[in-house]
Structure 1
Amino acid sequence: MSDLRQVKLAMVPGTQCNHRLWERLIPYLDECVQPRHVAIEECQTQAHMLAAIDEALCESQHLLGFSMGGYLALQYALANPAKVSSLVLIASSARGLSDGEKQARKGMLDFLHTHTYGGMSRARVKEFICQQRWQDNELIDLIKDMDKSLGGATLLNQIQQTSSREDLSADLGKLPCRVLIIGAQQDQKVTVQDLQNMAKLLPNAQLQLLDECGHMVPLEQPQRLARILNQFYLGR
């Protein structure tokens, strides 16, 4: 690829995440990669979230999604294959939510309807990061600050709007674009087996698994993630 190639990249965050999800990653991206945060945290419905992705792709055909944002990005790409030339899915499964996650979300919804949300506890944050980072106060504070800045109303809305996720696995073979799946060995939310199954079903996919990393890949392993993305987009 030419060194002058500009890759305009639309980046879709996960539940209760904002632009700060990418703040550790962006400094390591090649200068030819031009990231744009898709602010789905400001959207009131899933339809509006997909519309925000569509608007971002007016300037770019490269789409990246993290966690819930990865599911939305995949959903969008399957419905609009001509608009997406490459897709990166980070810590995200095409299968939607497990029974355990559905039950946990129901409990959270019940709580949010009857209580004032006080933010993520430190114990809750530990479910999203690998054990090696349980004493990383800077990382934990960043995750808690993102959650606090968005608040209970955003969390309630996002859970309500994104919990009905159908299994997209049967449609993966129809997706023509290049797909990069990135996961983590210590992710407690998305299994390695799910990611491996996705890679087998997609016609043009590669899978990268990171060690010493939990669910919050862009914050836990930003330098390693940037190297993978730079190679994927620019061949370097």
Structure 2
Amino acid sequence: MMPLETIVLLPGFLCDERLWAPLVPVFSERYNVRVVDLKHPQNLDAMIEEVGKTSDQAFHLVGFSMGGYIAETFATRFPERVLSLSLVAASVGALSEKTRAARLKMVGLLRRGKYNGISEKEMDRYIHPDFLKDPQVVGPIMQMSADFSSEQYINQTLATVDRIDKGAALQELSFPVLIVAAANDRVVPLESLKNRHAQISRSKFRVIDHCGHYVPLEQPAELGQAVLDFVGR
């Protein structure tokens, strides 16, 4: 019997393995599944090292949001380790100066205070309105973020605030790329991901309808099918 291939899942900013909990059982039917800890590494290189530890062999790499940037970075540094790359609601290119300044301002505030997590009042920016009262969506988001310390928030921010656009580098490589956008995402605009798809000629593009930014929690069935269709092509 052939050994199973591995799917490696990368959480986003202020997320952990709970983000992927609805999808692990789905992927586990056909693949070995590993979720990377991006909460405790203290910088970008340490995050990349954690990704590399997940398997001795090449693997399918799936990154959500900030985890998409980590996935892109790993894939361009170690393309021989990547069977395929799936980027879910992952912003493209360098951060705008406005966004960068806002994140660094938050770092300054948290060096003098305590991070308390995403509040319920903030949730309408991140998820589709129809899920605002859904405890299976709202609960994990609030719980994950509340479990981050100020130091961990700062580490993730500083590790990813000076982003380098990976589009040209990805275009030059050969592994398949899937770009997943959410139709109602207010964090990562659909149009920006369409542009990234156009930039990488071999990429596939999938839009998940009725969905805000937290795709793995809002629409796990659709996302799971999209990834399985892609990696099992």
Q: TM-score, normalised by structure 1?
A: 0.91
RMSD: 1.9
Q: Shift in Å at residue 57 of structure 1?
A: 4.1
The reply on whether 1:29 has 2:27 as its aligned counterpart is yes
Q: Shift in Å at residue 153 of structure 1?
A: 2.0
Amino acid at match of 1:169: G
Q: Does structure 2 retain, via aligned residues, the 8 Å contact 1:7–1:233?
A: no
The reply on whether 1:15 has 2:18 as its aligned counterpart is no
Q: Does structure 2 retain, via aligned residues, the 8 Å contact 1:74–1:94?
A: no
Q: Does structure 2 retain, via aligned residues, the 8 Å contact 1:9–1:60?
A: no
Q: Shift in Å at residue 5 of structure 1?
A: 7.0
Q: Does structure 2 retain, via aligned residues, the 8 Å contact 1:14–1:69?
A: yes
Q: Shift in Å at residue 92 of structure 1?
A: 0.6
Q: Shift in Å at residue 138 of structure 1?
A: 3.4
**Distance in 2 between residues matched to 1:4 and 1:82, nearest whole Å:** 20
Instruction: Give the aligned partner of residue 75 of structure 1.
Output: 73
Distance 1:162 1:109, change over 3 A: same
Instruction: Give the aligned partner of residue 156 of structure 2.
Output: 158
Q: Does structure 1 retain, via aligned residues, the 8 Å contact 2:136–2:217?
A: no
**Distance in 1 between residues matched to 2:124 and 2:98, nearest whole Å:** 17
Instruction: Give the aligned partner of residue 96 of structure 1.
Output: 94
Instruction: Give the aligned partner of residue 137 of structure 2.
Output: 139
Runs of at least 4 residues off by over 4 Å:
none
Q: Does structure 2 retain, via aligned residues, the 8 Å contact 1:57–1:83?
A: no
Alpha-carbon deviations, 1:153-185, whole Å to 9, x = none? Answer: 211211122111022233232121101111101
**Distance in 1 between residues matched to 2:211 and 2:45, nearest whole Å:** 32
Please, which moves more after superposition, 177-186 or 28-37? Answer: 28-37
**SS in structure 2 of the partner of residue 93 of structure 1:** coil
**SS in structure 2 of the partner of residue 170 of structure 1:** helix
Match of 1:168 among 166, 169, 192: 166
**SS in structure 1 of the partner of residue 181 of structure 2:** strand
**Distance in 1 between residues matched to 2:72 and 2:112, nearest whole Å:** 33
Identical columns (%): 31
Q: TM-score, normalised by structure 2?
A: 0.92
Instruction: Give the aligned partner of residue 205 of structure 1.
Output: 203
Q: Does structure 2 retain, via aligned residues, the 8 Å contact 1:119–1:152?
A: no
Amino acid at match of 1:97: L
Alpha-carbon deviations, 1:179-226, whole Å to 9, x = none? Answer: 111110111111112111111121321000011111111011001111
- Give the length in aligned residue pairs: 233
Amino acid at match of 2:140: L
Q: Shift in Å at residue 142 of structure 1?
A: 1.2
Q: Does structure 1 retain, via aligned residues, the 8 Å contact 2:57–2:81?
A: no
**SS in structure 2 of the partner of residue 56 of structure 1:** coil
Amino acid at match of 2:138: I
